[in-house]
Amino acid sequence: MRVLVIGAGNVGAEVARHLTARGDHVVATTTTTSRVPEVEAVASEAVVLVGADRRAVAEAADGSDAIVVTVSPPVSKAMTADQREASYREVLAETCRSAIAANARTIFLSSISVYGDAADEITEESPLARDGDPSARWFAAAEDAVLASPDGAVLRAPDIYGHPNDIDFTTRVRYAHSHFGGSVPFSAGATFNRLHHLDAVGAVVHLLDRGLAGVFNVVPPAIWGCNSHVFDRLAAEAGLDGLEFRGELTTPEGPISSRRLVESGFVFGHVEESVE
């Protein structure tokens, strides 16, 4: 199989590593020339491009059987609504439009933020928060592009953690204080859902191998409480003040069902680990 992975970050690089190790030909992309050797270490080829560049994506996708989109807007450009409006449109929506134009078989790693602050039990049929924060709107627009193809697939994931290059949650609290004055755009009452990066990789490969299309939630069953409960505890344990939750970037307060994905044969491998 020949696969183009757009976005060789923590999840994309591990998808590339997994597919390459089993014998697939993987072309993985980065926006940074200095990361080419790192990407070449996990993929068959490395290409420098911006996902919004449709010609570059089409060239990189030439001969591919599928495209996997695992792009993520940088945190530094996601702390205000104005920043999210610009960066989420370009990084998410435009990349997915480029991908689906290049290959009708595109799998997009999306976000549960498309559901806004929904409080009832959430399934893939639940309404999307299309009039909400730019995060929800542009993730939804990116999904629309992918799902316009009958072969397109979307995975709606919560916060992804656990990669060696990632920082733990206590360090994230410290970072919020040191870089953003202890103020974050998230909602205090949103449920603290999270997904291990290896389960994110496994879900992408599961859809790819089984030829599954459509929308799938990929949220483990473990629930740790709401954001304020978890992060206030971590802050206190680290000797820090609690965070200020501005409530701009909303995620669900209700339980999220991943029944559709599980019934397709997927098994979560990391659901009992403690929050650090």
165-190 pLDDT, tens digit each: 888 889 989 989 998 899 988 899 99
Q: Is the pLDDT of residue 275 over 80?
A: no
Give residue 74's pLDDT.
74
Would the pTM count as exceeding 0.85? yes
The DSSP result for 77-145, as a single string, is G-SSHHHHHHHHIIIIIIHHHHHHHH-S-EEEEEEGGGGTT--S-B-TTSPP-TTS-HHHHHHHHHHHH
On average, the pLDDT of the chain sits at 92
> Is residue 78 pLDDT above 80, yes or no?
no
What per-residue confidence (pLDDT) applies to 21?
Answer: 98
Average of per-residue pLDDT across 13-40: 97
Tens of pLDDT, residue by residue over 220-247, are: 986 678 889 898 999 899 999 999 999 8
CA distance 64 to 79: 35
Q: Which of residues 66 and 189 earns the better pLDDT score? A: 66
Query: From the centroid of its chain, how far is CA 229?
Result: 23
Domain 2-167+193-222 in this protein, CATH class = alpha beta
Write down the pLDDT at residue 50. Answer: 96
CB atoms within 10 A of CB 98: 26
Q: What is the C-alpha to C-alpha distance for residues 232 and 235, in angstroms, rounded to an integer?
A: 5
Is 134 within 8 Å of 77 (Cβ atoms)? no
Q: For the ranges 10-19, 150-159, 176-185, 252-261, which has the lowest average pLDDT?
A: 176-185
User: How would residue 214 be classed by pLDDT, with cut points 50, 70 and 90?
Assistant: very high
Using alpha carbons, list the distances in angstroms from residue 68 to 7, 196, 204, 267: 9, 18, 8, 20
pLDDT of the residue at 276: 60
- CA dist 58 and 103 (Å) reads 8
Residue 249's alpha-carbon distances to 98, 190, 218, in angstroms, are 26, 10, 20
Round to whole Å and give the CA distance between 155 and 245.
Answer: 27
269: number of Cβ within 10 Å: 10
Q: Dihedral sign, CA of 87, 71, 155, 53?
A: positive
Which residue from 148, 142, 112 is spatially nearest to 129, judged by alpha carbons? 112
Q: Is 262 exposed, middle or buried (0-12, 13-18, 19+ CB in 10 A)?
A: middle
